[in-house]
Amino acid sequence: EYRKGSHTVYNIQLSLCVGDKNRYHVLAGEVKLRVREMVRQICQQHDLLIEQGHVTKDHVHILVSAPTHLSASQIMQKIKGRSSRVLQQEFPHLKKRYWGQHIWARGYFCTTVGPV
């Protein structure tokens, strides 16, 4: 299904995956639910449609339909930046484990998805 902008018709789908730093398996229980909620909020604020998503113990994988003005790196910057800060404020045990205010690993995986 195509999306429309003021001067564009597009279908940009990105598969994005990011893991927590050192794969500590902390994305469980309340933390998992909060991560899922935050990713949904961030995507809604930036006109990203989540086609599919999955939060496991050590990584988050989402398939999004992105607008033309956002790059994959900008999308990940928004998701990782805000969620890291909020998670450490709301869950003190994460702040002790992830010193330096970084919950997420440095990099991320991104691939485009679509018909050929």
* H or E element, residue 72: helix 72-90
- The residues near 60 (Cβ < 8 Å, ≥ 6 apart) are 17, 18, 19, 27, 35, 39, 53, 54
Other beta carbons less than 10 A from residue 15's beta carbon? 16
Residues 20-30 pLDDT 10s:
988 888 899 99
Residues 37-46 pLDDT 10s:
999 999 999 9
pLDDT at position 93 is: 87
Torsion of CA 36, 41, 42, 44, to 10 degrees: 120
Cα separations in angstroms, 91 against 54, 59, 84: 21, 17, 11
pLDDT at position 56 is: 94
| pTM for the model | 0.87
Residues 51-109 pLDDT 10s:
999 999 999 999 999 999 999 999 999 999 999 989 988 998 888 888 777 889 999 99
